[in-house]
Structure 1
Amino acid sequence: MILIRKSMAFESQSLKKEKKYSGVFEDVYSMAILPKELELEKESHPKFELRFQLPDLIQPIREFSRTREVREFLSGALAGAMTKAVLAPLETIRTRMVVGVGSRHISGSFLEVIEKQGWQGLWAGNAVNMIRIIPTQAIEFATFECVKRAMTSTQEKWKQAESHKVQIGPVSLNLSISWISPVAVAGAAAGVVSTLVCHPLEVLKDRLTVSPEAYPSLSIAISKIYKEGGIGACYSGLSPTLIGMLPYSTCYYFMYEKMKKSYCQAKNKESLNRPEMLLVGALAGFTASTISFPLEVARKRLMVGALQGKCPPHMAAALSEVIREEGLLGLYRGWGASCLKVMPSSGITWMFYEAWKDILLVQRNSL
């Protein structure tokens, strides 16, 4: 018995030693003995890992937001939003008088809106007007500043170059672009670009303002306009708008910059204060609106003519229709209401724009 127990103990010890070099597969009676070198090689085999690293976009976005162009864009958006929130009632009255809806007098039109729709009617279409004015003013001011700087830089480079001459026999012609006003070119470009981008919102705003019964909400207005004429209906009146925008926008920006510069030179000042910006901006808007107002009347007739079942085919037809029905004075119908809206609007817009631009650009330089 002693010998048997010793042999069994010996066998158990030998089995423990073999486990150091073996791998066990569940069944203790079936063991595969592997060399130690193969086990070490198996454990040291590297694992395959697949890693993805997303690009760091925070820094480029931060740098982009600090650029001058972006801050001018934001200044225009904020200025437009704040101005329209205050002056929405005047915009409603002006639109109704221009297109010939309701009373021909400012006070009468004002009372009509309140009687039919309440005080809220004075802000009819203001939601889409806010949606319209924020991108419109942002694009307009940003385009104006960018084109003005580019045009000024081009003129300076053109002056430094001496090769812009044409020799025709004994006659030498010096090709100069110094006579072109960078402000006028930038103003025209600002009006055209903002109009092309935001014209459908202008159509929606006018439909909601003039006929709230037919277009009670923004979604219904979009659906009806699209069913009536598709995408083209969203750009109804685009041609007269662009034609009317050129003189208005050019004069508007040119007059503001010219009066601002002249006033600062006369008073020996570097910049205007806020009340002076308000006054100069109002005068610039008054001048531009007076010059281009007949085209504004034709534009409004084309944009909302479909509501009355008689839409002139083009701007010349709209102008002749107004003259035939109301005489030459009909071209300035609603001019008083327009001035009441345009003058404070342009003045407040310039004041807010210059204020926001100073804040954002000063903040940019301090960072």
Structure 2
Amino acid sequence: LKNFLCGGFAGLVSRTAVAPLDLIKTHLITSHGVHGYHKSATDIFCEIWERDGWLGLFRGNGVNCIRVAPCKAIELCTFEVVKKMLSSQGNPFCGVAAPVAGGAAGMAGTLATYPLELIRTRISLQAWSPFLCGSALLCQWLTLGFSALYAGLTPSILGVFPYAATNYFVYDGLRSAYHRATGKRHVPTGLTLLFGAVAAAASSAVTYPLEVARRQMQLGSVALVARNSTLDVVRQIYAEEGFLALYRGLGTTWLKLVPAAGISFVCYEAARR
């Protein structure tokens, strides 16, 4: 229960703190496919500010918080349970307990809260009130059927397992290296923030093309996306826009992940104590 509550709190605080960067990242990923031209992060920031004011920078954050709190709580609880099972003496997966548990945790959180993530993506790109548009959009997706709420789930699942596995593997590796070097049991808060940021940056770089494909599939901004697989979408983006298009918005993502991942892991370590 402690991990569950702490995970939910960590998700709320970290996601709200970086909501403007997450919104800009979503626009960076989708602006070219939708409008046919590139926009910089500065252009998008100024456009949102002029159109909607500072509240516009937090469009979709309410839905995101509703999603992130249970997602992070489920993720941390799953990680602890699976890691404990795999770390038992004699288990053949003992040596890879952290990455396997991390991947399983990421998948569990994603499956449980994915419809809210899809709705949040749509709301974040609306030009009007996020509250009115969000209500109408939710009704629209509900009328289209259950499967419509899971559009783009495949690239999410394909991306979340290696992302979460890499994230926890790097983080646990850095913590273990610190313990071996210093002999201290607890990692200082500053280093916990740093380790979490490094782990998140590494894992996001590995899986970012799948994130781009997922956003495009959610928005239907790639032609004939309904008949394309995840790899087809990645290939199409690469063929039409080049290799760098698969990493559009990665810099903004890293800026967002530094505080978000750090805060999450600080709360996680506090719960473990």
- TM-score, normalised to structure 1, is 0.69
Matching residue of 2:84: 149
C-alpha displacement of 1:310: 5.5
Matching residue of 1:284: 199
In 1: Cα distance, 2:3 partner to 2:150 partner: 27
Asked if 2 retains the 8 angstrom alpha-carbon contact of 1:305 and 1:311, the reply is yes
- Which of 232, 245, 256 in structure 2 is aligned with 1:317? 232
Matching residue of 1:92: 23
Matched, 1:351 2:270: no
- Which one has a larger percent helix, Structure 1 or Structure 2? 2
Matched, 1:76 2:7: yes
Matching residue of 2:140: 224
Post-superposition CA distance 1:104-161 (Å, at most 9, x none): 32222111111111111100001101100000000001100110011112xx044xxx
Question: How many matched pairs?
Answer: 267
Gaps of 5+ in 2: none
Asked if 1 retains the 8 angstrom alpha-carbon contact of 2:126 and 2:133, the reply is no
Matching residue of 1:112: 47
- Counting only pairs closer than 5 Å after superposition, residues 1-367 of structure 1 correspond to structure 2 as 70-100=1-31, 104-153=39-88, 156-158=89-91, 177=92, 180-213=95-128, 216-227=132-143, 229-305=144-220, 311=225, 313-358=228-273
C-alpha displacement of 1:187: 0.5
In 2: Cα distance, 1:86 partner to 1:357 partner: 23
Distance 1:266 1:78, change over 3 A: same
> More displaced, 104-113 or 275-284?
104-113
In 2: Cα distance, 1:127 partner to 1:340 partner: 21
In 2: Cα distance, 1:325 partner to 1:284 partner: 31
C-alpha displacement of 1:285: 0.3
Asked if 2 retains the 8 angstrom alpha-carbon contact of 1:104 and 1:334, the reply is no
Asked if 1 retains the 8 angstrom alpha-carbon contact of 2:24 and 2:41, the reply is yes
Post-superposition CA distance 1:270-322 (Å, at most 9, x none): 1111111100000000000011111111111111126x875353212211221
In 1: Cα distance, 2:235 partner to 2:24 partner: 24
In 2: Cα distance, 1:212 partner to 1:139 partner: 32
Gaps of 5+ in 1: 1-69, 159-176, 359-367
In 1: Cα distance, 2:127 partner to 2:176 partner: 44
C-alpha displacement of 1:355: 2.5
C-alpha displacement of 1:236: 0.5
C-alpha displacement of 1:86: 1.3
Matching residue of 1:40: none
Asked if 1 retains the 8 angstrom alpha-carbon contact of 2:6 and 2:271, the reply is yes
> More displaced, 309-318 or 196-205?
309-318
In 2: Cα distance, 1:272 partner to 1:345 partner: 18
Q: CA RMSD in A?
A: 1.9
- Which residue identity does 1:222 align to in structure 2? L
Asked if 1 retains the 8 angstrom alpha-carbon contact of 2:87 and 2:93, the reply is no
In 2: Cα distance, 1:179 partner to 1:301 partner: 38
1 or 2 for the larger relative contact order (CA 8 Å, sep ≥6)?
2
Distance 1:295 1:347, change over 3 A: same
- TM-score, normalised to structure 2, is 0.92
In 1: Cα distance, 2:94 partner to 2:269 partner: 27
